[in-house]
Amino acid sequence: MANRPPVTVLHLISRLPPGGVENQLRKVVRLYDRRRFRPIVCCLKEKGEVGEAIERDGTPVVVLNRMQGHPFDVRLVFLLRRLMKEHRVTIVRTHQFHANLYGRIAAIWAGVPILLPSFHNTYARRKRHRSLLNWLLARWTDRLITVSEAVKRDLVRYDHLPEGKIKVVHNGCDIDRFMKPSLKNDLRAAWKIPSDAPVIGTVGRLAKEKGQTILIQAVSLLRSDFPNLRILLVGEGPERETLEKEAARLGLGDRVLFTGLQREIPAFLALMDLFAFPSLNEGFPNALLEAMAAGKPVIASDIPENAEILSSEKIGLRVPPNDAKTLAEQIRFLLKSPDEARAMGKRAQEWVASRFTDTKMMEEIQGLYKSLLLEKKIWRDEDGEA
- From residue 365, alpha-carbon distances to 166, 249, 355, 358, 372 in Å are 13, 48, 15, 11, 11
Phi, psi angle pair for 41, to nearest 5°: -115, 140
Question: What gap in Å lies between CA 165 and CA 139, rounded to an integer?
Answer: 10
Is the domain 7-172+358-375 a CATH 3.40.50.300 member?
Answer: no
Q: According to the model, what pLDDT value does residue 181 have?
A: 54
Q: Give 238's pLDDT tier (boundaries 50, 70, 90).
A: very high
DSSP for 17-75? Answer: -SSHHHHHHHHHHHHS-TTTEEEEEEESS--HHHHHHHHHHT--EEE-----SSS--HH
Helical pair 97-110 and 128-137, crossing angle rounded to 10 deg: 30
pTM of the full predicted structure? 0.88
Phi-psi region of 144 (alpha: psi -120 to 50; beta: other; left: phi over 0): beta
Question: Given this chain, do its domains 7-172+358-375 and 175-355 carry the same CATH topology?
Answer: yes
Question: What gap in Å lies between CA 250 and CA 263, rounded to an integer?
Answer: 30
pLDDT digits (tens, 9 = 90+) for 327-374: 999 999 999 999 999 999 999 999 999 999 999 999 999 999 999 999
Question: What gap in Å lies between CA 197 and CA 229, rounded to an integer?
Answer: 5
Q: What fold does the segment set 175-355 form as a domain?
A: Rossmann fold (3.40.50)
Predicted confidence (pLDDT) at residue 145 exceeds the cutoff of 90:
yes
pLDDT digits (tens, 9 = 90+) for 167-210: 999 999 999 999 875 555 578 888 999 989 999 999 999 999 99
Q: According to the model, what pLDDT value does residue 2 have?
A: 56
Question: What gap in Å lies between CA 208 and CA 216, rounded to an integer?
Answer: 13
Q: Region 47-64: what's the mean pLDDT?
A: 96
Q: According to the model, what pLDDT value does residue 386 have?
A: 42
Q: Where are the domains of the chain?
A: 7-172+358-375, 175-355
Angle at 270 between CA 268 and CA 276, to 5 degrees: 75
Partners of 357 in beta bridges? 173
Q: According to the model, what pLDDT value does residue 183 have?
A: 58
pLDDT digits (tens, 9 = 90+) for 261-290: 998 899 999 999 999 999 998 889 999 999
Q: Region 203-225: what's the mean pLDDT?
A: 95
Using CA atoms of 338, 340, 344, 350 in order, give the dihedral in degrees to the nearest 10: 100
Predicted confidence (pLDDT) at residue 3 exceeds the cutoff of 90:
no
Angle at 300 between CA 317 and CA 212, to 5 degrees: 145
What percent of the chain clears pLDDT 90, i.e. is strictly above it? Answer: 83
Q: How many CB atoms lie within 10 A of CB 282?
A: 30
Q: According to the model, what pLDDT value does residue 134 have?
A: 87
DSSP for 9-31? Answer: EEEEES---SSHHHHHHHHHHHH
Q: According to the model, what pLDDT value does residue 385 have?
A: 46
Q: According to the model, what pLDDT value does residue 153 have?
A: 93
